[in-house]
Amino acid sequence: MNRLTGKIAFITGVASGLGRAAAKLFAAEGAKVVGCDVSQSGGQQIAIEVCNAGGKMVCFGPVDLSSPAEAQKWISEGVADSGGIDILYNNAGGARFGAFAELSHEDWGFTLRNEVDLVFYATQAAWPHLMARGGGAIINTGSAVAVRGNPNMGFAAHAASKGAIVAFTRQLAAEGAKHNIRANTISPGPIKTPATAGIPPEPVERIRAAIPLGRWGEVEDIAYCALYLASDEARWVTGADFAIDGGRLAHRYEDLDQGAAGGGFHFLSRLGSLDLDDGFAFLDLIALGFEPLDYRALLESHAPFGQIHLGSHRSLRTAATIFSEVGKSSDSSAGLNGTCTSGALKRTMGFFKRHLG
Ligand SMILES: NC(=O)c1ccc[n+]([C@@H]2O[C@H](COP(=O)([O-])OP(=O)(O)OC[C@H]3O[C@@H](n4cnc5c(N)ncnc54)[C@H](O)[C@@H]3O)[C@@H](O)[C@H]2O)c1
Question: Which residues does a 6 A CB cutoff place in the pocket of ligand 1?
Answer: 12-13, 15-19, 37-39, 42, 63-66, 91-94, 114, 118, 141, 143, 188, 190-191, 193-196
**Per-residue tens of pLDDT for the chain, all 357 residues:** 799 999 999 999 999 999 999 999 999 999 999 999 999 999 999 999 999 999 999 999 999 999 999 999 999 999 999 999 999 999 999 999 999 999 999 999 999 999 999 999 999 999 999 999 999 999 999 999 999 888 778 899 999 999 999 999 999 999 999 999 999 999 999 999 999 998 888 888 888 988 999 999 999 999 999 999 999 999 999 999 999 999 999 875 444 333 333 333 333 333 332 222 333 344 444 434 444 434 444 444 433 333 333 233 444 444 444 444 433 333 333 233 333 334 444 555 555 455 444
pLDDT value at position 252?
56
Cα–Cα distance for residue pair 70/247, rounded to 1 Å: 37
pLDDT at 260: 31
Name the closest-CA residue to atom 40, ligand 1.
Answer: 93
pLDDT for res 308: 31
Q: Is 340 helix (H, G, I), strand (E, B) or coil?
A: coil
- Chain CA centroid to CA 287, Å: 26
User: Residue of the nearest CA to atom 16 in ligand 1?
Assistant: 17
pLDDT value for 250: 87
Cβ–Cβ contacts within 10 Å for residue 153, how many? 15
* From 12, 18, 34, 169, mutation site for ligand 1 pocket: most ligand atoms within 8 A of C-beta: 18
Return all residues near 351 (Cβ < 8 A) that are at least 6 apart: 278, 279, 280, 282
CB 64 within 8 A of CB 70: yes
- Ordered by where they begin, the domains of the chain are 8-244 (3.40.50.720), 254-355 (no CATH)
